[in-house]
Amino acid sequence: MMELTHDHLPIHLTQLAQRYGHIYQLKCGNTCMVVLNSTEVIREALVKKWSDFAGRPLSFTGDVVSGGGRSISLGDYNDEWRAHRRLVHGALLRCCHDSLHGVIEKQGMHLCKVLKAYQGSAVDLSDDFTVAASNVITTLTFGKEYDKSSSELQELHNCLNEIVALWGSCWISALDSFPLLRKLPNPVFSHLMQEVTKRDNIIRKHLKDYKSQDNKPESTITGYFLQGLDTKNGVLLTDTHVHMATVDLLIGGTETTAALLNWTIAFLLHRPEVQNQVYEELCSVPEGHYPKYSERHKLPVLSALINEVLRLRPVAPLAVPHRAVRDSSIAGYYIPKNTVIIPNLFGAHHDPSVWTEPDSFKPERFLEGGGASPRALIPFGGGARLCLGESVAKMELFLFTAYLLRDFHFFPTDACLPDLRGVASVVLKVKAYKVIACPRPVHDN
């Protein structure tokens, strides 16, 4: 148990891998956990043997936050979950095809406008990144976007952030490992329950508002969900599934992307010459317009930058725990049914047998001749539980980063450079820092 209360768990588990190897076991109460620390063993479990390890741990607290296990992210692997994930995946694909690029472009432009209005003062951009990422998801789901000052948006994010933070706390995870503790009063658990009720009221209101509109926004995920609700292969999908999928997309799709943008600027402040290289590359895009996602092959330095930030700071550093649904093996070790599997993506991305100088920020490693292959990256997990928003996230990271670095030159404040160690919870975030965004010369669009 002590191993799991460490303040930066991904770093700690990675250090243990240096002592015990790419795969080792930890005991927590009655639960046996196996930690995987290299891309090779993670792929063996999640991709090659996906059907053995597609489960989620059976969890009292997970059930509380996921409407009785009816969310995509925390639901266990069964027919109902498969039908649910297929419905959400289909809706997301249709939406991405119809409108994603335009939705991100609009939020990217808006983000640049917000930054211009700061007129070169020192600011913490994390809330602006959260609003941009969140607006992509709320536009896709309900056809709705918010201003940073909107009380509705703030209420939603405060509540989702509280749930993620509380759910990651040891006061809550102890309830899974030591069932007797559930009989004792636990103020942290009561707080979690209150936030879950608040979250459900907000989402219920959004879905009700959406359904009551005469002219519903076209091609939204919610619209596609509602059309797809039916009995699928003998599984009945209901409004609860729509509700929990909305929660999944909002939680999965907001803080992750926002945290990665914040990390990108933080790393660039440490290596200003990389920022200049990306800017020069962006200026070479035909006629100086904002690049399209389809033009990413023309921007290798920008792509290398994004890969390097995803490598160094995979924002879901320990993914979400998996569970062996039957007896199996990994790297030749016997793994009994119900073993909890922790894919240490952070560890895999710092593996010295794969990456030279694994702790250094060197986007050039991903350029031709740099020696690193993006195939060794695994920031979105893999297999049956692959991040549902991977394609949304990749387009967002590319377009937002391109817009920001084309329109602004970022400078550190006099105070100091950002601390790059990070604050690890479910999402790995950079410690709050301020930055100065100076507009670049105007381009003809």
Residue stretches of the annotated binding site for heme? 387
Query: Residue by residue, what is the 3-state secondary structure of 293-325?
Result: HHHHHHCHHHHHHHHHHHHHCCCCCCCCCEECC
Q: Minimum Å distance from CB 322 to ligand HEM? A: 6
The length of the chain is 445
CB atoms within 10 A of CB 357: 9
Q: Do residues 280 and 273 touch, judged by C-beta distance below 8 A?
A: no
CB 439 within 8 A of CB 408: yes
Closer CB to ligand HEM, residue 383 or residue 439?
383
Q: Which is nearer to ligand HEM, 223 or 252 (CB)?
A: 252
Residues at the binding site are 387
Q: What's the gap between Cα 203 and its chain centre?
A: 20
Check if the beta carbon of residue 45 is closer than 8 Å to that of residue 331.
Answer: no
> Between residues 134 and 436, which has the closer beta carbon with respect to ligand HEM?
134
Nearer to ligand HEM, 306 or 436 (CB): 306
In the complex, least distance from residue 48 CB atom to ligand HEM, rounded to whole angstroms: 14
Q: Considering beta carbons, is residue 347 or 412 the nearer one to ligand HEM?
A: 347
Find the shortest distance in angstroms from Cβ 56 to ligand HEM: 7
Q: Which is nearer to ligand HEM, 355 or 380 (CB)?
A: 380
Q: Is the distance from CB of 125 to CB of 115 less than 8 angstroms?
A: yes
Shortest separation between residue 307's beta carbon and ligand HEM, angstroms:
12
In whole angstroms, how close is the CB of 287 to ligand HEM at the nearest point? Answer: 30
Q: How far is the CB of 105 from ligand HEM (least distance, A)?
A: 16
**E strands, 15-80, where?**
23-28, 31-36
**Of residues 250 and 372, the one with the C-beta less far from ligand HEM:** 250
What three-state secondary structure class fits 37?
coil
Residues 6+ apart with CB under 8 A from 67: 200, 240, 243, 244
Straight-line distance from the first to the last Cα atom of the chain, in angstroms, rounded to the nearest whole number: 57
CB hemisphere CA count around 369 (13 angstroms): 0
Give me the least distance between CB of 188 and ligand HEM, in Å please.
Answer: 24
Least distance in angstroms from the C-beta of 185 to ligand HEM: 32
Q: Whose Cβ is closer to ligand HEM: residue 249's or residue 405's?
A: 249
Q: What is the DSSP string of 128-158?
A: HHHHHHHHHHHHHHHS----TT-HHHHHHHH
H or E stretch including 432? none
Of 18, 52, 58, the C-alpha closest to 384 is: 52
Q: d(Cα 25, Cα 32) in Å, to the nearest integer?
A: 7
Closer CB to ligand HEM, 335 or 436, in the complex: 335
**Residue 156: other Cβ atoms inside 10 A:** 21
Of 249, 352, 350, whose CA–CA distance to 308 is shortest? 350
- Interface residues toward ligand HEM, by CB under 6 A: 46, 72-73, 85, 137, 248-249, 252-253, 256-257, 260, 314-316, 319-320, 343, 345, 379-381, 385, 387-389, 392-393
Beta-bridge mates of residue 437: 410
Look at phi and psi of residue 119 and say left if phi exceeds 0, alpha if psi is from -120 to 50, else beta.
left
Nearest to ligand HEM by Cβ — which residue? Answer: 389
Minimum distance, C-beta of residue 276 to ligand HEM, in the bound complex (Å): 25
